[in-house]
Homo-oligomer: A and B are copies of this chain.
């Protein structure tokens, strides 16, 4: 293969390891980078350099940011709601922020309990959560609706018992804009049970 030198080949191999890109699309992406060297390749290279230097994990909540405590933990207005949303992953935190859930704080577990995969309570950020919890009035367990997610939610609920806290979870129901026909039975029956007045 004469794909233009080891520098290009190595760039393709690294790009191919990004989620959503395979070997073929990584080649196309690299070719695009090379074609748009000034508009895309050089800015991307500079942005990566800056991100490598700046990005760190927040020691309070586990969010990624360029400061620790992160901008969410450092924002005093976010303390007022008294709400702490517990998520599995930083991506979930970003999704909730995009949804504009309000001036809340987060705790990123960095995974879920999974005995089969050898993930126990000490492998995810549960101790940090228990330590922070008394500062808040309500803990929302926004873990995924998977078996592992629900196991983790049960475990956290047990650990938080005794503290005078409201513990909640996200509502199940029909996604906004979703069609009933495509929904699984579990979601539909939960949506019916939790029906609301119009």
Contacts and interface: CB of A to CB of B under 8 A. Distances in A.
Interface of A: 1-8, 10-11, 14-15, 17-21, 25, 27-34, 37, 40-45, 47-52, 54-55, 63-67, 70-72, 90-91, 94, 97-98
A63 B4 contact: yes
Interface of A, helix, strand, loop or mixed by DSSP: helix
Given A21-B29, A29-B20, A72-B2, A44 B8 contact: no
A37 B25 CA distance: 22
Contacts of A97: 1-3
Contact of A70 (B4, B65, B67): B4
Given A7-B54, A31-B90, A43 B66 contact: no
A34 B57 CA distance: 9
Nearest to A53: B7
A8 B42 CA distance: 16
11 contacts: A1-B98, A4-B66, A4-B71, A5-B54, A5-B66, A5-B71, A14-B43, A14-B47, A18-B29, A20-B21, A41-B52
Given A3-B94, A7-B47, A55 B28 contact: no
A91 B31 contact: yes
Contacts of A52: 37, 41-42, 45
A41 B48 contact: yes
Contacts of A91: 27-28, 31
A35 B3 CA distance: 29
A32 B17 CA distance: 9
Contacts of A1: 97-98
A85 to B, nearest CB: 13
A11 B48 contact: yes
